[in-house]
Amino acid sequence: MATQYEISGTTAKGIAGSVERGVAEGALAPGFALPPVRRLADDLGVSPGTVATAYKELRRRGIVVTRGRGGTVIAAAPAVAARRPPRVPEGLRDLAGGHPDSALLPALLPPSRLSPGARSHRSTPRLARLEDAVRDWLGADGVPVEQVTFAHGALDLIGRVLSVELRPGDGVAMEDPGYHHLLDLVAALGLRTVPVAVDDEGMRPEALRGALRGGVRAVVLSPRAQNPYGGCFSVARRDALAEVLRDAPEVLVMENDHASEVAGAALHTVTAAGPARWVHVRTVSKFLGTDLRWAAAACDPVTLARHDGRLLLTSGWVSHLLQETVLGLLTDGGTRALVARARETYELRRTALAGELAARGVTAHAASGMNLWVPVRDESAVVNGLRSYGWWVAAGARFRLASGPGVRITTAGLEPADAARLASDFATVLGESEATYGG
């Protein structure tokens, strides 16, 4: 039982380590109150300052929290369930999902050449021809491609790398607002999410600098089609972020280019600036098919070894059938033409709605990607108001850490002809909500 666990140690590091072991073994359960500083100091024969330093380190790493007169207690276990969006009510036009238009995705057919029989691919986990195609694909955008690897999607790769690089309680600089599944993933790994404000050009350099000064061990950023805000790096912003990151060479830089070919913006990658520890991950679900759970990544040699070593111990490799399918699509001329049309269509639809909203005095952020972020005073009032007009949009709460409220609108399937009606309804609802809640 938790009350029988004896904290040990004669240094701050030793005491903190003893508490962490108790948590890991289940002997110190969430909510268990640690002894007051002076009492534990007397028990261990150390100074109160030593215990206070240990408790401070445990708080920094998210293992304990302080509750005023309630003392210092073991923090609640990290969430393992994602904050799933509510079900779309029947009869509404769904603009909340963030999904591509199925009409702009290629037909998925199994490869004609299948893997023969039952055999292990651990010795050759990646198809050499797909590796070459990935190097051409990423290298054309300025990403260093000496080391590449594959995973079962961006979240799979990011989660695996963070789990081998960081310890529970370590801080990760995250975009705010940001992709809710990434926010949930970091929390589920027992890591601290440190919010970094974004604008139409992505992460703000001074906000990132503040997070680095706070001691984060990793940063996850989107170079374009930032979800949900839509920001994309300009050359100047990329250079400013790279300059900030140069002052923290020990920090792992994770660049998530999730929309890539249909982002509607050029890639200006911070990886080209030469950070010591880095990974650039790119998926195909937004333009080749949501069932293609595959990601390509380029990274530094240490990250490659640690990622692939953990992959070897778990799933072993990414299915060669999946790799053959992706290779066939990436190198098919017809598919490339369809992707180009999708990119142009998504940009047209996104800018059409942004323009219609602007014409009605509504500010929207939509620099790239297939979503718009619209700041609002009251998310629930706007979501429910638009529901009465037949639209279903995403409340921004699940995307936010410390940033202000807003709603996300997915424009991937919204024809320009419908943009004017949605914008008019949005302006009406916004006016009604501001009148109700104080304007």
Strand segments, DSSP code E, in 134-182 are: 148-151, 171-176
What tokens appear for 255 in the block? 């660049």
Pair 366, 350: CB distance under 8 Å: yes
Angle between helices 333-359 and 416-437 (to 10 degrees): 40
Pair 397, 96: CB distance under 8 Å: no
241: left (phi over 0), alpha (psi -120 to 50) or beta: alpha
Q: Measure the CA–CA gap between 398 and 83, rounded to whole angstroms.
A: 7
Cβ count within 10 A of residue 89: 10
The reported pLDDT for the residue numbered 84 is 67
Three-state DSSP at 362 gives coil
Q: Measure the CA–CA gap between 91 and 73, rounded to whole angstroms.
A: 48
Consecutive H or E run containing 210: helix 205-213
> Which of these, 256, 238, 248, lies nearest to 275 by C-alpha position?
248
Torsion of CA 170, 171, 174, 176, to 10 degrees: 130
Residue whose structure tokens are 């500010």: 363
The reported pLDDT for the residue numbered 390 is 97
What tokens appear for 192 in the block? 């601290």
| Domains and their CATH numbers in the chain | 12-74 (1.10.10.10), 93-102+335-437 (3.90.1150.10), 126-332 (3.40.640.10)
Q: What is the pLDDT along the chain (439 residues), one digit of tens a residue?
A: 345 789 999 999 999 989 988 887 788 988 899 999 999 999 999 999 999 999 998 887 778 888 777 789 998 765 555 566 778 999 999 999 999 999 999 998 777 666 666 566 788 899 999 999 999 999 999 999 999 999 999 999 999 999 999 988 899 999 999 999 999 999 889 898 999 999 999 999 999 999 999 999 999 999 999 999 999 999 999 999 999 999 999 999 999 999 999 999 999 999 999 999 999 999 999 999 999 999 999 999 999 999 999 999 999 999 999 999 999 999 999 999 999 999 999 999 999 999 999 999 999 999 999 999 999 999 999 999 999 999 999 999 999 999 999 999 999 999 999 999 999 999 999 988 765 544 4
Contacts 24+ apart (CB under 8 A), 78-82: 78/168, 78/187, 78/188, 78/189, 78/190, 79/184, 79/187, 79/188, 80/188, 81/184, 82/180, 82/181, 82/184
Strands 171-176 and 192-199: parallel
Q: Rounded to the nearest 5 degrees, what angle is found at the Cα of 160, between the Cα atoms of 28 and 134?
A: 175
- Give, as one character, the DSSP assignment of residue 394: E
Residue whose structure tokens are 């424009």: 411
What tokens appear for 408 in the block? 């996300």
The reported pLDDT for the residue numbered 358 is 98
Consecutive H or E run containing 375: strand 371-375
Q: Measure the CA–CA gap between 283 and 164, rounded to whole angstroms.
A: 21
Pair 78, 389: CB distance under 8 Å: no
Cis peptide before 375, with omega less than 30 degrees from 0?
A: no
The reported pLDDT for the residue numbered 439 is 44
Cβ count within 10 A of residue 12: 20
Q: Measure the CA–CA gap between 287 and 261, rounded to whole angstroms.
A: 7
Q: Measure the CA–CA gap between 413 and 102, rounded to whole angstroms.
A: 9
